[in-house]
Chain A
């Protein structure tokens, strides 16, 4: 009897400990399980296809679009930019090798104490070589990102939060808090639409599940009529609940990217993508 009580107490302590201190990996497993249970028809690896992973009619249309992908011009433009040397004779390859590096981003830089995204790294490569930084969000930067993402297709999402660096965990936690906090005049959190609301119709749009949300950027969106980065999308989703958006590559959006990408660890990068 005493033994049982002791065992129960240990169990209880362990359970409350893990509830108070659930780490990123516990978060990720719960996240993944939530969506794979909510959409049991969808194979886990297919969540990288956003709404098309859970909505067969729109998947048909999308598969047709993918036969002549609207992002192809952007990959080509990115490739040309990649091959054109900087004024100092160097090029992107001096920073990124063959460009197939998507799987290394985003990462926590313990020396600099900040999150490095691929788009940030592209501009830092340019500036280190005496070139002007490009505008974040769309345009030339999205083209280079599209080319590099294309070169990286099939790489695994694998964000690492270094355990020996509390600042890394704090940045992850801020991204997580952002994701789950309601904001804007309409008082919605990301998770309201892309968690419990995923699969529902909002006006003409069906809401995609959050799992896999980060895999396929930049995206050619028919509504935009051009390419946009993940942070451009973040901005759009903030503004549609009537919250002011943050700037692409702001600390807030980099933290959000770190958290959301961690949630998709183990899935594949398949950018660039096409969406409605």
Chain B
């Protein structure tokens, strides 16, 4: 009886620890993705849907669906990286399109 209770509470503790760490991992990933988004915005190249993905990620996390939340964060992060690359490329390429 006693043993079982201890076992269960240890299990619960481990589970809640892993929950906490998964949440912390999400929070950190979300923050990094949002910083990337701001980096893209600072050079005038934010994409239309990035903010929406970050919002949806928060919502998914609040509903306990961390898997979905992490996928959305990854998508947002990738978009901002692509946008920053696009800007760096266009600085050189735009003038080749000028009508002369």
Contacts and interface: CB of A to CB of B under 8 A. Distances in A.
Interface in A218-266: 238-239, 242-246, 252
Interface residues of A, number: 27
Interface residues of B, number: 20
Interface stretch (B3-11, B15-23, B24-32, B43-51): B43-51
A239 B98 CA distance: 22
A183 B99 contact: no
A244 B46 contact: yes
B90 interface: yes
Given A181-B90, A182-B86, A243 B98 contact: no
A143 to B, nearest CB: 29
7 contacts: A22-B100, A27-B99, A182-B93, A184-B47, A187-B86, A191-B99, A195-B97
A22 B95 CA distance: 12
Interface of A: 19, 22, 27, 30-31, 34, 176-177, 180-185, 187, 189, 191-192, 195, 238-239, 242-246, 252
Grouping DSSP codes into helix (H, G, I), strand (E, B) and loop, the B interface class, with mixed when no group exceeds half, is helix
A35 B53 CA distance: 40
Given A22-B100, A185-B79, A244-B41, A180 B95 contact: yes
B95 A185 contact: no
A27 B94 CA distance: 14
Given A182-B94, A192-B97, A244-B48, 6 more contacts: A34-B99, A176-B98, A180-B94, A182-B90, A191-B97, A244-B51
A195 B49 CA distance: 26
Contact of A181 (B41, B79, B94, B99): B94
B97 A242 contact: no
